[in-house]
Amino acid sequence: MKIILLLISGGGEVHDSNELSQRMTWASAQSTDIEIIWLRGRSGNEYSLESNTLYVPCENDFTSILEKTILGFRWIASNKNFDLVVRSNTSTYFNLESLSRNFSKFDLRAVGGTFENTRKPIGKYAKGYRYLNGSGLYLGKKAVDLICNMDHQGYAGLPDDLAIHSFFEDSRIGFYHVPRNNLDLHHIFFPRFQVRVKSWSRNDLTISRMHYVHAYFQCQTFYSRLHQWIRIEIQEYSNSEISINSVRNFTRRILNYFRHI
């Protein structure tokens, strides 16, 4: 059993600092079952794997994420042995031990992830279109082979995760739900093997969350974990904005979360 984590990297100082926080926390762990590769674009026509960073021939900015993703999968399909590839980013935490332990629950015939709905019309997709969020896409060999033949130019103007979901939907491959914890939405820490720590307003909070969550998973006793969980919740409470609308939206998100567990 072999899992490859392909993490979209580069594109600015914020992403570089997030990558460093990953390297200092969960990605520093050694695993015989899991390989971590950070994916960056670079000018030229060559692919280059330098240490655990893969450089592919494209621009290294936000508008090139889809192209970068496809090129990364093409390189992996030609150069690596794997059972599962997880495409993610530099603002997500993974508990590698739990990820490996839950391997048997992944459907290698389909594409896994966390479902979200579009908040506004995008192209031909109406508001409320259901798709897999790009912070964690779980692909077996069949899905990897399919995405290697994807033409990014045919999805210009679409967010990369919406484009990937649309491509697989047109390819008639199945989808399945992978539970994750999103701290910026829920503000309650659920110890899943995938935790979205991204803060859209403060990158220092993204980094702090990465280290706080890592500290939780490093705890060895119930009471030490409880203490660290409380520290996480204090941080979330002190950095959250409370209003009638935020409470209503928070309640709705929590109910949706437990509905899809």
Q: What is the pLDDT of residues 128-149, one digit of tens each?
A: 999 999 999 999 999 999 999 9
Asked if residue 49 and residue 104 are part of one domain, the reply reads yes
Please check whether residues 87 and 135 belong to one and the same domain.
yes
The CATH number of whichever domain residue 148 belongs to comes to 3.90.550.50
- 170-223 pLDDT per residue, tens: 999 999 999 999 999 889 999 999 999 999 889 999 999 999 999 999 999 999
Q: What's the domain range around 112?
A: 3-177
Q: Is 63 found in the same domain as 28?
A: yes
Whether residue 241 sits in one domain with residue 166: no
Tokens linked to 120:
């506004």
112 & 8 share domain: yes
152 and 47, same domain (yes or no) = yes
User: Where among 177, 200, 226 does a domain terminate?
Assistant: 177
170/214 same-domain check: no
Residues 17 and 67 in one domain: yes
Q: Give pTM, 2 decimals.
A: 0.89
Domain limit, last residue, from 177, 202, 222: 177
From 62, 88, 87, 91, select the one nearest 73 (Cα to Cα). Answer: 87
**Residue 145 and residue 60 share a domain:** yes
Residues 161 and 194 placed together within one structural domain of the fold: no
Q: Total structural domains in the chain?
A: 2
Is residue 114 a contact partner of residue 25, using CB atoms and an 8 Å limit?
A: no
Sign of dihedral through CA atoms 136, 55, 10, 43? negative
Beta strand pairing status for 34-41 and 53-56? parallel
